Amino acid sequence: MIHFAAYASVPESVGDPPKYYHNNIIKGIRFIDAVRDAGIKSFIFSSSAATFGEPQYSPIDEKHPQHPTNPYGQTKLDFEHILHWYDVAYGIKSISLRYFCAAGADPEGELGEDHTPETHMIPLALFAALGRRPDIKMFGTDYPTEDGTGVRDYIHVTDLASAHVLALDALKNGAQTTAYNLGNGKGYSVKEVIETARQVTNKSIIATSAPRRPGDPAKLVASPDKIMSELGWQPQFGDLPTIIKTAYDWFVAHPDGYGDKD
């Protein structure tokens, strides 16, 4: 069983914590209870780098202390703990995959990113390039990073998918409950993402400064060494231009996303 569902906006979680606890924890427990009642013993959980909070060192490995700075990250960490105890009590083995920044689109052009509302950095930058919005906001330009903007580790969705397959195979072959960090081990700042998007699209992108968003750490970069060594995972779409190019191609081909969701 693979559990992808969750509310996942950091600033929204800070402003409305009960929404995140009701959905990500209470409904998550109902789900894992249904899994238990069905006799399923293998469980993959989409967790998050937000469980770590402000990094004490970088890149972040699985031994890094977990002190979330927002309710979203806290709910992900709490559910990881719940899975541990469901293993102890019921023998449900689980692997938590801590995503850093999932991005990009299916290289074959069939699947892409379509959120309402859209809050992710790369789609918003590309929407500015495509004229779907007037600019891209840089939330915080005074972070203790090289250029003052937040730094994130972007991982292509296809590489994420391959990690899930490897994790499920590992559980089928007797793996124990554990967690893995999923990223490329390289961080890019907001300004670097915007400049790369300009180069990939060959279009102008207006970037404007805005106040920091509550709950956002300054820098989150993964160490993927554990999943590489234990499961043999190797990202195939790790460079930022490729990630942005696949996303851009999908947005150009699908100007209305998946259409009317209603």
Closest listed residue to residue 44, CA positions, set 99, 94, 102, 79: 94
DSSP-derived secondary structure for 164-221:
HHHHHHHHHTTPPSEEEEES-S--EEHHHHHHHHHHHHTS---EEEEPPPTT--SEE-
Determine the angle formed by the axes of helices 71-90 and 27-37, rounding to 10 degrees.
20
Query: Is residue 43 exposed (0-12), middle (13-18) or buried (19+ Cβ within 10 Å)?
Result: buried
Catalytic residue among 7, 21, 57, 72, which?
A: 72
Taking CA 187 as the corner, what is the angle to CA 183 and CA 189, rounded to the nearest 5 degrees?
135
Sole residue written with tokens 């999932």: 102
The one-letter amino acid at 147:
D
Whole-number Å distance between alpha carbons of 177 and 85 = 10
Burial 111-135 (b: 16+ CB within 10 A, else e): ebbbeeebebbbbbbbbbbeeeeee
Determine the angle formed by the axes of helices 190-201 and 240-253, rounding to 10 degrees.
60
Residue 72 designated active-site: yes
Whole-number Å distance between alpha carbons of 185 and 222 = 5
N-term to C-term CA, the chain: 28
Active site residues: 72
